[in-house]
């Protein structure tokens, strides 16, 4: 299945997405609450991708409801961030190619070392529908003073 195009992410924010960021991925739970928790991610210039396991809540949440959002702060400056809202596309990662790509980028390892036998990897592709990458006060300052609002 071809992945739909994403809304473009402004170029001034691309470095946020490629400098080993930790994103905070939000999905909707069956009880109506929002799940939000940290993830590694890969940005290929158009889409953000994340790896998960079929045993995780986020996978089950997204199977049921494909709405997804992610907040990605710059690794060294939380005043700079990108927020992406859109839809998730789920694809099996049977040869673990994508999770191993994450391991190479984030850990300098050839293989992601923490999975257990039987763990089934899935790649989440975020098709962006809305993107926010504001330039806010202190944007050029060091960390320690995220926006109060």
Which residues are at the interface with its own copies (CB under 8 A)?
A: 20, 22, 24, 26-28, 32-40, 51-53, 56, 58, 67-71, 73, 75, 78-79, 81, 83, 85, 99, 102-103, 106-107, 112, 114, 129-130, 132, 137-138, 143-149
Indicate the residue among 2 and 144 with the shorter CB distance to its own copies.
144
Is residue 64 within a helix (H) or strand (E), and if so which, with residue range? Answer: helix 57-64
Indicate the residue among 46 and 78 with the shorter CB distance to its own copies.
78
Indicate the residue among 3 and 130 with the shorter CB distance to its own copies.
130
Least separation in angstroms between residue 95's CB and its own copies is 15
CA–CA separation, 78 and 85 (whole Å): 19
- What are the Cα distances from residue 104, in Å, to 32, 39, 54, 77, 83? 36, 15, 22, 23, 25
CA–CA separation, 39 and 52 (whole Å): 9
């Amino acid at each position: 299945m071809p992945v739909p195009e994403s809304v473009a992410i402004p170029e001034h924010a691309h470095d946020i997405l490629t400098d080993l960021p930790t994103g905070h991925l939000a999905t909707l739970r069956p009880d109506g609450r929002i799940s939000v928790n940290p993830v590694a991610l890969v940005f290929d210039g158009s889409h953000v991708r994340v790896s998960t396991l079929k045993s995780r809540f986020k996978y089950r949440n997204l199977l049921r409801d494909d709405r997804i959002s992610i907040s990605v702060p710059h690794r060294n400056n939380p005043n700079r961030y990108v927020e992406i809202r859109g839809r998730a596309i789920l694809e099996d990662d049977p040869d673990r190619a994508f999770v191993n790509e994450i391991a190479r980028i984030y850990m300098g390892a050839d293989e992601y070392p923490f999975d257990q036998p039987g763990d089934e990897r899935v790649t989440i592709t975020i098709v962006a529908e809305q993107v926010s990458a504001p330039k806010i006060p202190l944007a050029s300052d060091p960390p320690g003073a995220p926006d109060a609002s």
